[in-house]
Amino acid sequence: MGQQKQEKLSYEIRHFLGSVIIITLIVGIVSGGTAGIVFSTYGLKYLVKTPLVGKTIEEQIVKKIEVEELQEQSATIAAVKKVSPAVVSIIISKDLSKYYNHTGPNIFPFDDFFEFGFPEFYSPQQKKGKQEIGVGTGFIVDGEKGLIITNKHVVADEDAEYSVITNDGQRYDNVEVLARDAINDLAIIKIKAKGLPQVELGDSDSLEIGQTVIAIGFALGEYKNTVTKGVISGRGRTIVAGDFRSSESLENVIQTDAAINPGNSGGPLLNLKGQVIGVNTAISREGQLIGFAIPANEAKFVYESIRDTGRIVRAFLGVRYIILNKAIAQANNLKVDYGALIVRGSTLEDLAVVPGSPADKAGLQENDIILEVNGKKINKNYSLRRAIGRLKPGEEVELKIFHKGKEKVVKVKLEERR
């Protein structure tokens, strides 16, 4: 018996005996009768006295653990069988010769979140014409229209060509990139096919820490539809993902210890019902088994926007900001330690409030603090971008503002991000 199973068995036995002690003592006290006292005294003595009885209890608990493990194993197998047919591999091809000269390579124009598939040096004498230089993963969300969700960084290069290989080995070239999300690592691509299997998108807002999850992806660009399993390790993380060429801040991402390997970019993270609850997007380069996925509800928003309008339609407020915390508030002698502080960017062009934007029209100014959006506090767990991202252009929102030492409420009509 493995150490993990032994620990679980020990816990189950302690839990069982503890429950028996409590129940029998309550029975004895409440009844006040001889039967209750006899049961609480001799029953407990009998339970803990002989190794034979203890072994019987252990056998029952072992059986219970085995049943639970079989149930989870069956659910895992069923989930993988359900989703795998809709998981695809994405091949990235490009003519590399124009990026290299006789003195050496130029900077290679790719952002590899998974540190795989993008070579650092090519000899122009050896590499002529189009080469397969990267891989990723995606999953079909509309089998009749051939719509696939993947990561933006997988299909970031507008000069590259993309091919999709479905689980049954069918290859589709001339893939069309319908949209790249401006504020998240998501993209929608399309292949010319109908009647394809498709996934079911689950509710990522209902996830629990410790919940079992499954990742599927094109591991190492070699092992198609590799399956790994783990748990939800954290929610609402904010990370900066990328490499030395470029990076992107991602908010409200899911952390998991399910092994996410190079090539898994854009693959699905599943629950045991076989629903997609995340889009695998990044791994930690310093830790082990620390992976991140964009919540499925974010992907659902992007997909539905493409389906209904042909483009990603997002609401726009028009401010630059940082999320306040106690340290920032104390360092700047601020009276509040939460909210979004409106600030300038690092260059003269990065204004705090975009001229002509909804925020500008509503009178928001640099150094104002947006405390709440529609009555909900803005903080590290609920950023301004997340709050506005759930709304639609044309909606009117109520903002609570801390302006020059006083709180006030302003109403802002959101516009479409261009």
Per-residue pLDDT of 168-227, as tens digits, reads 999 999 899 999 998 899 999 999 999 999 999 999 999 999 999 999 999 887 888 899
243 and 184 share one domain: no
Question: Does residue 284 lie within any of the structural domains?
Answer: yes
98 and 171 share one domain: yes
208 and 305 share one domain: yes
Task: Provide DSSP, 227-296.
Answer: EEEEEEEEEEEEEEEE-SS-EEEEEEEEEE-S---TT-TT-EEE-TTSEEEEEEEEE-SSSSS-EEEEEH
Number of structural domains found in the chain: 4
Annotated catalytic residue 403: no
- pLDDT band of residue 18 (cuts 50, 70, 90) is low
3-state SS class at 362:
coil
Which range in 29-43, 64-78, 147-161 is most confidently predicted, on average pLDDT? 147-161
Question: Does residue 276 lie within any of the structural domains?
Answer: yes
CATH code (residue 97): 2.40.10.10
Question: Does residue 333 lie within any of the structural domains?
Answer: yes
Question: Does residue 103 lie within any of the structural domains?
Answer: yes
pLDDT value of residue 246: 54
- How far is residue 158 CA from its own chain's centroid? 25
3-state SS class at 110:
coil
Q: Which of 83, 100, 115 is the last residue of a domain?
A: 83
CATH code (residue 360): 2.30.42.10
**Span of 21-25, 47-51, 338-342, 392-396 with lowest mean pLDDT:** 47-51
pLDDT value of residue 54: 52
Question: Does residue 195 lie within any of the structural domains?
Answer: no
92 and 166 share one domain: yes
User: What integer is the mean pLDDT of 39-64?
Assistant: 54
What does pLDDT average to over the chain? 81
Annotated catalytic residue 15: no
Q: Which of 84, 89, 265, 383 is catalytic?
A: 265
Question: Does residue 348 lie within any of the structural domains?
Answer: yes
91 and 79 share one domain: no
Is it the case that residue 110 has pLDDT exceeding 70? no
pLDDT value of residue 49: 41
285 and 350 share one domain: no
Task: Read off the DSSP letter of residue 73.
Answer: H
92 and 149 share one domain: yes
Backbone angles phi, psi at 5, to 5 degrees: -70, -40
- pLDDT band of residue 71 (cuts 50, 70, 90) is confident
Q: Which of 111, 142, 153, 257 is catalytic?
A: 153
User: What integer is the mean pLDDT of 61-79?
Assistant: 80
402 and 374 share one domain: yes
Annotated catalytic residue 265: yes
Q: Which helix H or strand E contains 390, and what residues bound it? A: none
Region class of 195: left (phi > 0), else alpha (psi between -120 and 50), else beta: left
Is it the case that residue 53 has pLDDT exceeding 90? no
In whole angstroms, what is the distance from residue 363 CA to residue 375 CA? 19
264 and 343 share one domain: no
326 and 269 share one domain: no
With a CB cutoff of 8 Å and minimum separation 6, the contacts of 286 are none
149 and 169 share one domain: yes
Q: Which of 67, 83, 99 is the last residue of a domain?
A: 83
Show the tokens assigned to 336: 């509040």
Question: Does residue 16 lie within any of the structural domains?
Answer: yes
pLDDT value of residue 131: 84
Q: Which of 28, 54, 83 is the last residue of a domain?
A: 83
93 and 74 share one domain: no
**Span of 15-24, 157-166, 208-217 with lowest mean pLDDT:** 15-24
Instruction: Please tell me whether the overall predicted TM-score, pTM, comes out greater than 0.85 for this model.
Output: no
Q: Which of 112, 185, 257, 368 is catalytic?
A: 185
Is it the case that residue 98 has pLDDT exceeding 90? no
Q: Which helix H or strand E contains 397, and what residues bound it? A: strand 396-403
pLDDT value of residue 12: 56
Is it the case that residue 93 has pLDDT exceeding 70? yes
Range of the domain at 72: 3-83
pLDDT value of residue 58: 67
